[in-house]
Copies of this chain bind each other. A is one copy, B any other.
Amino acid sequence: MVMNRKCIIRLSRYKNALKRLKSLGFVKVFSGNLADAAGVTSSQVRKDFSLFAITGNRRGGYRVDELIERISHILGKNELQKVVIVGMGNIGKALMRYRGFEAGGIKVLAGFDIDPAKYNKLAEIPILPLEDFREFVQSQGVRIAILAVPDVSAHHVSEIIISAGIKGILNFAPIQLRGAENVVVSSINLEVELENLIYFVNAGAKAEPEIEA
């Protein structure tokens, strides 16, 4: 099992590039095309593919459809992925309304908060009390949660949702969450992100920091 995060990020990029190429009518691609589209080298593409035993045709490259299918499968995107959002502040609400997930096979089932003023149990995507979290995710089989609560409550809430059985947390709170055993935590920290950008801008970097997401 490949545990190299950069490599997985590249897979996502390949998939997005392939979808674009497909919509342009491409049926086959060569490693070089894909490399250009994803901003890497062709060796890298072939090496990545070889890690996942993705194979093409020695003369004719890769079939776009097969590739998308294969990569989606590796990324677990063949089935609809159910997620919930915890914290209905600015970010949480924006993510609720964000319509970009559906195309990617990601379905936001519900939002959660502790503030009764935010509850809306009848909405298309309901907003429920945090007390209902455990029951909801267990009955729905949700394993992924997006955590968008204020930093002061982040640690506390993370413990609640982990104890409810959540296995993956996308954390927007600007603190370092220490996830439990076999709970994966990935953080998006806007301040860190901007600090990086500022550093590289000041450095006059031509080399763009390559890490997507």
A interface, CB within 8 angstroms of B: 1, 3, 5, 8-9, 12-13, 16-17, 37-39, 74-77, 81, 83, 90-91, 93-95, 97-98, 100-101, 104, 106, 143-144, 151, 167-170, 174-176, 178-179, 181-213
Contact assessment for B201 and A100 in the assembled complex, using a CB-CB cutoff below 8 Å? no
- This chain's copy number in the assembly: 2
Residues of B within 8 A of A13 (CB): 176, 192
Contact assessment for A196 and B213 in the assembled complex, using a CB-CB cutoff below 8 Å? yes
> Contacts A94-B90, A199-B75 known; A204 to B190 CB distance under 8 Å?
no
Given contacts A100-B151, A100-B174, A184-B205, 13 further A-B contacts (CB under 8 A): A9-B196, A12-B196, A13-B176, A74-B199, A90-B98, A91-B98, A167-B201, A168-B201, A170-B197, A182-B205, A183-B208, A186-B196, A211-B211
* A16 CA to B176 CA, complexed, in Å: 9
* A192 CA to B11 CA, complexed, in Å: 9
Main secondary structure of the interface of A (DSSP, over half): mixed
Q: 9 closest Cβ contacts across the A-B interface? A: A94-B94, A168-B201, A192-B213, A90-B94, A104-B191, A168-B197, A12-B192, A5-B209, A189-B213
